[in-house]
Structure 1
Amino acid sequence: MSRDPHAPTPLLTPRRTLVAALPYPLAALTVLLVYLSVRDRLPDPLAAHIGPGGTADGFSGHGSFLAVSLGLLLGGGVLFGLVTHWARNNPDAQRVLAVLVGGAAVVMGWIITALLLANAGAADAAHVTLPGLQAAAGFGAGVLYAAVGWPVCGKSPVAEAAEALPGHAERLDLADTESAAWTRVAGSRALPATGLGVLGIGVVTGVMSGWATAVLPLVTGALLTLLTGARVTADRRGITVAPVLLPWPRLNVPLERITEVTHRDVRALRDFGGWGYRVRPGASGVVLRSGPAIAARLATGSEFVVTVDDAGTAAALLNTLADRERTAGG
């Protein structure tokens, strides 16, 4: 059986799985060692949750606090290690997922450890405080881990592929009295993984530091998850891209702005540095994954691309409709 040429090499997937999963047991071990070193100085119950003002507003016994903390960390390591391994057929998403969930483990371990140290020596858990600086430091440590883990994960074969072949400006055979429209839903695997990772960070932040501090990652994660599918339409209005699950935002490139449309392969990381609505010098577009894309040359000289299956049919139809528009306009 032949191997998928776009899949990571056999050595990359274990490495990425390790980047994703290893911080969880290491964080669990750190939490356990810190607990054992300070347990004689901990109040009972101890402060298990810090509210928006930096003071304790939730309490727990020693056993339940340790069980929940270690359960989250060890369970997260198993879960996210498996998810990262299963994502091996989508190398771009796998690499992003590995550094995101690994960084989340660092944040979680940091905050739990800081909470234990804040409890140490307190006569009453109600007086325990945890400065917001600790949460910021935890996020900084998570970002640093992700930055180090990114090169460790290694470049995907997709990102190292040769330059894409030039597209072909084909036409669709339509009679003067005929009209046609083309539409298809384009999906993404990288954006849902990213959205779920950010949501996970938001949940951990809410549980450990208060929900007020978790608003940004929760909203960002929810939006990333919801904006992972788009309906692409080619018709007399030009190219229209709209989210599948939300009524907005909608993006339209009218026919009068289009000079020629081709179709070619686009690599999300190599060509645009990521996924979503992307802008780089001379080009912009909606890049939800790597693969076939509509590539429209605009009157301004720039390029607009949309990654979607059956891009060749859409390109041919748009060329025919754009020719008709120019003829009608004299």
Structure 2
Amino acid sequence: MAGESGQRVDRKALRFAIGYPILLGGGFALAAFTFRGRVPEPVAWLWNADGGTAFTAFAGYLAGGAGLIAILGALLCSQAAFTRRPPIARRVFMAGGIGMSMFLATVLAAGLLGQVGLDDARDSHPDPVVLAMGSGATLAFAVVMFFTFKPDEQWSPRDEAALLDALEPERVRLTFTYWAHARSSVFVMLGIIGVSVSLLLLVVSPWISLVLTVGALLAACSLVTRVSVSPEGVGVFLAGMVPVLRFRTASVLRASFETVAARRFGGWGYRRKGQAVSVLVASGEAVEAVLDDGRQVVFSGRDGDTARRVVDVLRAGSGA
């Protein structure tokens, strides 16, 4: 999905980002309407192990469900239309928005089908077959969307690198970006907790399931960092987007790299204690620097060669 050069918003992507959740919400409402008269009135929209605990009118279930699918899906997907975001972030937003809207439709459909043929919604439970099949389809479609959505880069990193290479070859050598993340086994475990376990708990309480899923997602995001290095300064971003550490190379008094244990600095992720700031995604190679404002910063260096390269830039920019 390409946007026109010079635009801050990819209009084609924006049309899809808003249109798809609206159509999905409308499709859910139309399909669910065919079950009118076959479900109790009012219908349940919240359950525990014993059955339905909160109820609403059938029309409210349809309208609220369709609106939730359309609004939440559009809010997430539309973030992928902003061309100033990194391409990977735009892919994540598009896939996440599509997945969220489809998952909401799955949960709402499972809740409704679980009440078909019952006289009292208090005896109902979400249909586990619909929930399982819909969740699997949602995950598969979100992954496909992640790999097929092609953000149109108005000015790509390759263009920037080519221009800098022609104008300032030395600056090119000192300007780079790298990603650091925890071991794959950590993300596999978080995925099991955030997806499999939360789906099982969905029948017990959707709120517990939601909290568990969000917690696992936040934990995973805190274990991925993007580090941007240039002769002017360094920026560290959690999940590649959230800035948690910035400083100028000119403010560095001392810089070094070494193998560190994350527990020495309070654990993985972003940690701050007094003047000490650490952003570590795992134990291993890290860059340590002392700044002229008294801060002592530590962040993951991915590997020894990358950490050494960062230290060289810091020393060149500060004369340390």
Distance (whole Å) between structure 2 residues aligned to residue 24 and residue 208 of structure 1: 27
Q: Contact conserved, 2:13 with 2:80, CA < 8 A, in 1?
A: yes
Distance (whole Å) between structure 2 residues aligned to residue 305 and residue 143 of structure 1: 39
Where does structure 1 lack aligned partners over 5 or more consecutive residues? Answer: 1-7, 172-197, 256-276, 286-297, 322-330
Distance (whole Å) between structure 2 residues aligned to residue 147 and residue 9 of structure 1: 22
Q: For residues 143-164 of structure 1, give each alpha carbon's deviation from its aligned partner in whole angstroms, at most 9, with x where no partner exists.
A: 2222222344215446783795
Give 2:306's aligned residue: 303
For residue 213 of structure 1, give the secondary structure of its aligned residue in structure 2. Answer: helix
Give 1:106's aligned residue: 102
Change in CA separation of 1:167 and 1:213 when aligned onto 2, cut-off 3 Å: farther
Q: Contact conserved, 1:111 with 1:135, CA < 8 A, in 2?
A: yes
Could you tell which deviates more after superposition, 121-130 or 87-96? 87-96
For residue 230 of structure 1, give the secondary structure of its aligned residue in structure 2. Answer: strand
Give 2:302's aligned residue: 284
Find the partner of 1:88 among 75, 83, 91. 83
Q: Which amino acid aligns with 1:236?
A: R
Distance (whole Å) between structure 2 residues aligned to residue 132 and residue 46 of structure 1: 18
Give 2:52's aligned residue: 56
Q: TM-score, normalised by structure 1?
A: 0.56
Report the alpha carbon displacement of residue 32 of structure 1 after superposing the two structures with TM: 1.5
Distance (whole Å) between structure 1 residues aligned to residue 106 and residue 272 of structure 2: 36
Find the partner of 2:71 among 62, 69, 75. 75
Two-structure CA RMSD over aligned residues (Å):
4.4
Change in CA separation of 1:169 and 1:112 when aligned onto 2, cut-off 3 Å: closer
Report the alpha carbon displacement of residue 66 of structure 1 after superposing the two structures with TM: 1.9
Report the alpha carbon displacement of residue 104 of structure 1 after superposing the two structures with TM: 0.7
Distance (whole Å) between structure 2 residues aligned to residue 82 and residue 65 of structure 1: 25
The reply to whether residue 253 of structure 1 matches residue 287 of structure 2 is yes
Q: Contact conserved, 1:46 with 1:119, CA < 8 A, in 2?
A: yes
Give 2:150's aligned residue: 154
Q: Which amino acid aligns with 1:88?
A: T
Distance (whole Å) between structure 1 residues aligned to residue 214 and residue 152 of structure 2: 29
Distance (whole Å) between structure 1 residues aligned to residue 203 and residue 76 of structure 2: 19
Report the alpha carbon displacement of residue 18 of structure 1 after superposing the two structures with TM: 4.4
- What does 1:155-234 align with in structure 2 at a 5 Å threshold? 155-157=151-153, 161=158, 164=161, 210-223=206-219, 224=221, 227=238, 228-232=242-246, 234=252
Report the alpha carbon displacement of residue 208 of structure 1 after superposing the two structures with TM: 11
Q: Contact conserved, 2:114 with 2:127, CA < 8 A, in 1?
A: no
Change in CA separation of 1:159 and 1:169 when aligned onto 2, cut-off 3 Å: closer
Q: For residues 24-69 of structure 1, give each alpha carbon's deviation from its aligned partner in whole angstroms, at most 9, with x where no partner exists.
A: 1232222222222111111011111233x38322211112222211
Q: For residues 224-253 of structure 1, give each alpha carbon's deviation from its aligned partner in whole angstroms, at most 9, with x where no partner exists.
A: 489422225544253699977855754442
Q: Contact conserved, 1:238 with 1:254, CA < 8 A, in 2?
A: yes
Distance (whole Å) between structure 2 residues aligned to residue 59 and residue 246 of structure 1: 45
The reply to whether residue 65 of structure 1 matches residue 61 of structure 2 is yes
The reply to whether residue 16 of structure 1 matches residue 34 of structure 2 is no
Distance (whole Å) between structure 2 residues aligned to residue 149 and residue 17 of structure 1: 15
Distance (whole Å) between structure 1 residues aligned to residue 79 and residue 39 of structure 2: 36
Report the alpha carbon displacement of residue 81 of structure 1 after superposing the two structures with TM: 5.3
Q: TM-score, normalised by structure 2?
A: 0.57
Q: For residues 269-313 of structure 1, give each alpha carbon's deviation from its aligned partner in whole angstroms, at most 9, with x where no partner exists.
A: xxxxxxxx99xxxx827xxxxxxxxxxxx4xxx323999xxx997
Q: Contact conserved, 1:13 with 1:88, CA < 8 A, in 2?
A: yes
Report the alpha carbon displacement of residue 222 of structure 1 after superposing the two structures with TM: 4.2
Distance (whole Å) between structure 1 residues aligned to residue 118 and residue 142 of structure 2: 34
Change in CA separation of 1:253 and 1:218 when aligned onto 2, cut-off 3 Å: same
Q: For residues 196-232 of structure 1, give each alpha carbon's deviation from its aligned partner in whole angstroms, at most 9, with x where no partner exists.
A: xx9xxx9xx9799512222332214445489422225
Give 2:183's aligned residue: none
For residue 304 of structure 1, give the secondary structure of its aligned residue in structure 2. Answer: helix
Report the alpha carbon displacement of residue 133 of structure 1 after superposing the two structures with TM: 5.5
Change in CA separation of 1:134 and 1:111 when aligned onto 2, cut-off 3 Å: same
Q: Contact conserved, 2:46 with 2:52, CA < 8 A, in 1?
A: yes
Find the partner of 2:31 among 27, 31, 34. 34
Where does structure 2 lack aligned partners over 5 or more consecutive residues? Answer: 175-193, 223-236, 259-264, 281-285, 290-298
Q: Contact conserved, 1:102 with 1:146, CA < 8 A, in 2?
A: yes
Change in CA separation of 1:250 and 1:25 when aligned onto 2, cut-off 3 Å: closer
Distance (whole Å) between structure 2 residues aligned to residue 43 and residue 57 of structure 1: 14
**Larger RCO: Structure 1 or Structure 2 (Cα < 8 Å, ≥ 6 residues apart)?**
1
